[in-house]
């Protein structure tokens, strides 16, 4: 990133996008995931541009996983909640993984509650485990060629 806040996207320099208390801090097209910082109140005005960016990445990459580093959550506008919920339902199969990185206990509990309900694979990490969360998102699922058809076991 340059001192002006510019990042490289498709070999072009663009200004890093910020959305009030929601900020895209990194994009990893090679692994099809983005990193988002959540720190404070969440309004509809902050959610809409973020969801638009996520939709663009889905359109560009076919799918997008998300790393959400949740430092603090203040007030969440009901309109922001509903907008996010509708977007998530519409794109269930296009967001394969979500890594929630937080030390906030209730956020961990809510994330663990929703994991078996939604189609997205959700893993919760502490803030000290940020690098582990990134590594988990960068993992590729094994292709069918690596699975032994007769036993169903993965080849070493």
Q: What does the pLDDT look like over 77-99, one tens digit per residue?
A: 999 999 998 998 899 899 999 99
Domain assignment of residue 93, yes or no? yes
Burial 49-63 (b: 16+ CB within 10 A, else e): ebbebbeebbeebee
Domain assignment of residue 155, yes or no? no
Q: What does the pLDDT look like over 37-90, one tens digit per residue?
A: 999 999 999 999 999 999 999 999 999 999 999 999 888 899 999 999 899 889
Whole-number pLDDT of residue 111: 87
- At residue 4 the predicted structure's pLDDT band, cuts being 50, 70 and 90, is very low
Question: What's the CATH number where 108 sits?
Answer: 3.30.750.24
Domain assignment of residue 156, yes or no? no
Whole-number pLDDT of residue 119: 76
The model carries a pTM of 0.74
Domain assignment of residue 83, yes or no? yes
Domain assignment of residue 153, yes or no? no
Whole-number pLDDT of residue 58: 98
Backbone angles phi, psi at 37, to 5 degrees: -105, 130
- At residue 24 the predicted structure's pLDDT band, cuts being 50, 70 and 90, is very high
Domain assignment of residue 151, yes or no? no
Structural domain count, the chain: 1
Domain assignment of residue 152, yes or no? no
What is the span of the domain harbouring residue 72? 6-146
Backbone angles phi, psi at 101, to 5 degrees: -110, 110
Nearest to 79 by CA among 47, 50, 51, 116: 47
Please tell me the distance from the alpha carbon of residue 13 to that of residue 135, in angstroms, as a whole number: 26
Query: Where do we find the tokens 């663990």?
Result: 112
pLDDT exceeding 70 applies to what percent of the chain? 76
- Cβ neighbours, 10 Å, residue 65: 22
């Amino acid at each position: 990133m340059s001192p002006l806040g510019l990042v490289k996207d498709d070999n072009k320099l663009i200004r890093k996008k910020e959305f009030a208390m929601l900020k895209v801090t990194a994009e990893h097209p090679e692994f099809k995931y983005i990193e988002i910082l959540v720190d404070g109140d969440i309004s509809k005005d902050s959610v809409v541009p973020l969801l638009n960016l996520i939709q663009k990445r889905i359109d560009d990459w076919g799918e997008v996983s998300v790393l959400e580093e949740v430092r603090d959550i203040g007030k969440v506008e009901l309109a922001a909640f509903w907008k996010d919920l509708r977007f998530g339902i519409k794109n269930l199969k296009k967001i394969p993984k979500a890594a929630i990185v937080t030390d906030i206990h209730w956020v961990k509990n809510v994330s663990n509650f929703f994991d078996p309900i939604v189609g997205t694979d959700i893993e919760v990490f502490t803030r000290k485990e940020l690098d582990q969360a990134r590594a988990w998102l960068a993992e590729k699922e094994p292709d069918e060629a690596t699975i032994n058809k007769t036993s169903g076991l993965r080849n070493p």
